[in-house]
Chains A and B, each alone.
Chain A
């Protein structure tokens, strides 16, 4: 079934994706989403009764990882390039504990 988004849904999607849309760009974004939703609604047209969801088939499944700990030797190099650290912690704006 073909679906569409309105301005409100467009903004809600942007919020869920942690992106901001400039006020003068909302309509453009909405139209663009609707274009693709319009085109992609095609996927609902094919009768797929009884068809399973897609999944990859493999010739030989790789073995699972053994439960053996290892240390990461490049941690300091990594931390040196992290954008905002406080001691060994990564830092984010204050969040209320209940949030």
Chain B
């Protein structure tokens, strides 16, 4: 376990998110490259054919600005692109077009909350850039011919990314994780990106250092290749203990880039030119500058949806929900929307919150659904069910079974209730009395034992009460059932 007390940890993150445009950043090729034939999403521009020129995607500018605004950044009226020069087969032009210096959004912050409490992480800037293509390295026994070769697919080349660079404001892996979680949530709220780490539409590079005894920053190490939140946390943990060990033994931290190895759970030095290389940044003159007017910024601002923290606050205020409830219900805006629809269809907010965050999420999980919009129990239906529970027309226990039937495809609420076998309405009075008689006659030993005073702790009566509840599918009042049984047993 990493020791945080010895040397304070300083973490800054560079998060790349793939913008959810239909076309690439500088050409009209589609961005849905996953599963496509190699090099089928390409054109002369993204293949760097001589004479072609980049053409900036207007939507990428809008999405980048939206994300910038979501991070409380200042959208710049004037920004431009630079070329980052290096040779690699996945980079067709031998330079990446990226923003450097003058970026589309500057400053801002994101509030996080982890075990260390609430914290504001400052954002240095957000910029636009293009993604690279992909290399395939066939193995000697691979099906791809010619193990002596590597193969290049430019389908991903030119896909728009926005890179969000934080200030070094995080001091633990948990904070880093929470920052990424909240950034991803924001991107999803804004429809800026699907934010999937597994598919690579959200990628995180971390800069981490341990402070010196005098409080100054230590030597910074960059870590790449963390493909999940779990690996981000583990890689940072590993790096903290590695650096502590090096420093404890009197060693020096080398400024370098290290790759996280998910299988071995270690970071490894890249040991190649990557860290030493000079990218020779300079202004890209093939593109007009990005000019964004005040009117456009206003338009972006007006089109902003309610943001996660705003929604959390509103849910707490309007529905009287707890912090934990609001936080779960607003995690995804689709779930929050679902919850609000349940409430607007007449379900009491507090009970609806319980149902959504407990039963609905359980059911989604059981059905392997990731998106509430695919859930068969639409909000109106759930609201109706919750209302019946509230009116005590159906017990919670039975209602859960009803929900399962609805989630499995039963479209009709009445039919589902019938299938569960729960009697319509409450079991009380003469019906309850008759049922109690039957239960007693079916369990004569227990009844006799109670009558002869062998139930000092009341457990046997509880047993019989349980049978009544089971028979009625929970439609009886447990207290009333217990009273009826006791009366019949002569108490």
Contacts and interface: CB of A to CB of B under 8 A. Distances in A.
Touch between A and B in complex, CB under 8 Å?
yes
B82 to A, nearest CB: 11
A64 B61 contact: yes
Contacts of B37: 88
Contacts of B56: 64-65
Interface string B285-326: 100110100000000000000000000000000000000000
Given A53-B283, A65-B56, A91 B28 contact: no
Contact of A61 (B28, B55, B278, B291): B291
Contacts of B55: 64-65
Contact of A55 (B40, B80, B150): B80
Interface string A54-80: 011010011111111110100100110
A92 B92 CA distance: 13
A9 B23 CA distance: 41
B146 A67 contact: no
B137 interface: yes
Contacts of A88: 37-40, 153
A65 B25 CA distance: 10
Please indicate which of the listed interface residues B89, B149, B259 has the most CB atoms of chain A within 10 Å of its own CB. B149
B137 A94 contact: yes
B377 interface: no
Given A55-B80, A92-B152, A72 B58 contact: no
Nearest to B47: A78
A69 B30 contact: yes
A12 B148 CA distance: 28
B22 A95 contact: no
B44 to A, nearest CB: 7
7 contacts: A16-B278, A55-B80, A61-B288, A68-B23, A69-B22, A75-B43, A91-B152
Given A67-B57, A95-B137, A90 B151 contact: yes
Given A72-B43, A88-B40, A89-B38, 11 more contacts: A61-B289, A72-B44, A86-B145, A86-B149, A87-B144, A89-B151, A90-B151, A90-B153, A91-B150, A93-B149, A94-B147
Instruction: Name B's interface SS.
Output: loop
Contacts of A24: none
B136 interface: yes
A70 B28 contact: yes
A18 interface: yes
A99 interface: yes
A36 interface: no
Given A58-B288, A88-B39, A89-B39, A67 B151 contact: no
Nearest to A72: B43
A89 B151 CA distance: 6
B10 to A, nearest CB: 28
A16 B277 CA distance: 9
Interface in B14-69: 21-23, 28-30, 37-40, 42-44, 47, 49, 55-61
Contacts of B249: none
A10 to B, nearest CB: 15
Interface string B255-277: 00001000000000010100001
A77 to B, nearest CB: 11
A42 interface: no
A97 interface: yes
Contacts of A63: 58
B4 interface: no
Interface string A11-55: 000001010000000000000000000000000000000000101
A53 B60 CA distance: 26
A79 B43 CA distance: 11
Given A65-B28, A67-B59, A91 B39 contact: no
Interface string B140-168: 00001111111111100000000000000
B349 to A, nearest CB: 39
A52 to B, nearest CB: 11
A92 B89 contact: yes
Please indicate which of the listed interface residues A16, A58, A69, A98 has the most CB atoms of chain B within 10 Å of its own CB. A69
Contact of A90 (B80, B87, B89, B280): B89
A86 B23 contact: no
A69 B28 contact: yes
Contact of B58 (A53, A65, A78, A98): A65
Contacts of B144: 86-87
A68 B314 CA distance: 37
A92 B149 contact: yes
Nearest to A93: B149
Please indicate which of the listed interface residues A16, A56, A96 has the most CB atoms of chain B within 10 Å of its own CB. A16
Contacts of A68: 22-23, 28
B23 A93 contact: no
Contacts of B40: 75, 88
B96 to A, nearest CB: 15
B135 interface: yes
Contacts of A66: 58-59
B152 A72 contact: no
B22 A67 contact: yes
Please indicate which of the listed interface residues B38, B49, B153, B154 has the most CB atoms of chain A within 10 Å of its own CB. B38
Which A-B residue pairs are the 6 nearest by beta carbons? A67-B59, A89-B151, A64-B58, A88-B38, A72-B43, A70-B28
B150 A94 contact: yes
Contacts of B152: 89-92
